[in-house]
A and B are shown apart, each in its own frame.
Chain A
Amino acid sequence: MRPTASRLLNILVPVKRTIDYAVKIRVNPDQKGVDLNVKHSMNPFDEIAVEEAVRLREKLKDAVKSIKVVTIGGTKSQETLRTALAMGADSGIHVSLADSDPTPEPLGVAKALRAVIEREKAKTPVDLVILGKQAIDDDSSQTGQMLAGLLNWPQATFASKLVVDAEKKEANVTREIDGGLEELKCRLPLVVTTDLRLNEPRYASLPNIMKAKKKPIEKITPADLGVDLAPRLETLKVAEPPKRVGGGKVENVDQLIEKLKEAGITAVKA
């Protein structure tokens, strides 16, 4: 039985171009930022999000109508979209900023994403937004939550398992929380953020990268969306964490006990 039109899912996956995870971060001399003249790639948690969308389609087949990826940034952000398209997304939206513009903040991103979702409502209403739980550059872990709040949609964050029932328009999400796992049943439309343990992203093979060049990327501006992405926060200072003070060696057990006493650790009564 082919799924009826009302039950076809449209998935939106926002992705971010961040400094590659393997790069050693260097703070700039002015202590206002880090050296950005290094290798960049898609935020690893966003790779997991794209992978999850592609796997959903492999599982639900025709029930997934479209997988769109969206990014906000300068010209090089398009490469991130191309990687996502090579992994299996259908089309991309590039909200383009000037290369000199500062990286947008989570609230700005959430507002822009809401505007994109509003824009898509007529033709391809979004049923599921899958985001990385945080970006490895700012580690805010706010965008998904803020987006859900702005849209007034349910949210399931830090997902380690996602099962979608397209017919019922429901999802069962397992979340990683302190002390274990939590299972939620949510109605669509839904915002999900991905935890590391959700899946292992595929590598975009060369043939797929070539095929992805033909997939469409729509370019729009924040003005088109009616969103102001000017930062509201001012970075006062960026510095490296203090160097860990080395441990000392002791000669015997008595010395160890002395050092522990000096540190204020008292013996437990037997």
Chain B
Amino acid sequence: MPTPQASQATRHRVLALYKELHRLGRDYPDPTYNFHGKLRGLFEKNKNLTDPAEIEKAIKLGEYIRNETLALYSLRKYRHLKRMYPLDSKADPPS
């Protein structure tokens, strides 16, 4: 049975993760993808978990999705800039 302090700490982590993902979702490039809806749904689905191992697994999944989303954003930006500012200045400008 998790101690009250442990569940408080977990609660804090989960809330922080949710806020972080929510803020990230504002910049999602595809407007047809319901990021916030899916985010809410996935967190709600797991809200009644009690086993600390399962809770940890769910948090890890959330963190994985956060890292993947961050990677998506930075790759997308890098690719765009690479196209717009090619190394070879004699190359044709992109259409």
Interface residues of A (CB under 8 A from B): 21-22, 44, 136, 176, 178, 196, 200-201, 203, 205-207, 244
Assess whether A203 is in contact with B74, with CB atoms less than 8 Å apart: yes
- Determine the main DSSP class of B at the interface with A: helix
A44, A136, A201, A203: residue with the most chain B Cβ atoms closer than 10 Å: A203
Given contacts A136-B84, A200-B74, A201-B74, 19 further A-B contacts (CB under 8 A): A21-B77, A21-B81, A22-B29, A22-B76, A22-B77, A22-B80, A44-B77, A44-B81, A176-B87, A178-B89, A178-B90, A196-B78, A196-B81, A196-B82, A203-B70, A205-B20, A206-B16, A207-B16, A244-B95
The total of chain B residues at the interface (CB under 8 A) is: 21
Annotate B48-90 by CB proximity to A: 1 below 8 A, 0 otherwise: 0000000000000000000000100110111011101101111
**Which residues of the other chain, A, contact B81 by a CB distance below 8 angstroms?**
21, 44, 136, 196
Q: Is B19 an interface residue (CB 8 A)?
A: yes
Assess whether A21 is in contact with B74, with CB atoms less than 8 Å apart: no
Q: How far is the CA of A44 from the CA of B95 in the complex (A)?
A: 21
Nearest opposing residue in chain B for A203, CB measure: B70
CB distance from A160 to the nearest CB of B (A): 10
Q: How far is the CA of A22 from the CA of B74 in the complex (A)?
A: 12
B73, B74, B87, B95: residue with the most chain A Cβ atoms closer than 10 Å: B87
Q: How far is the CA of A136 from the CA of B89 in the complex (A)?
A: 16
Q: Is B40 an interface residue (CB 8 A)?
A: no
Contact sample, A vs B, 19 pairs, CB 8 Å cutoff = A21-B81, A22-B29, A22-B77, A44-B77, A44-B81, A136-B84, A176-B87, A178-B88, A196-B81, A196-B85, A200-B74, A200-B78, A201-B74, A203-B70, A203-B74, A205-B20, A206-B16, A206-B19, A207-B16
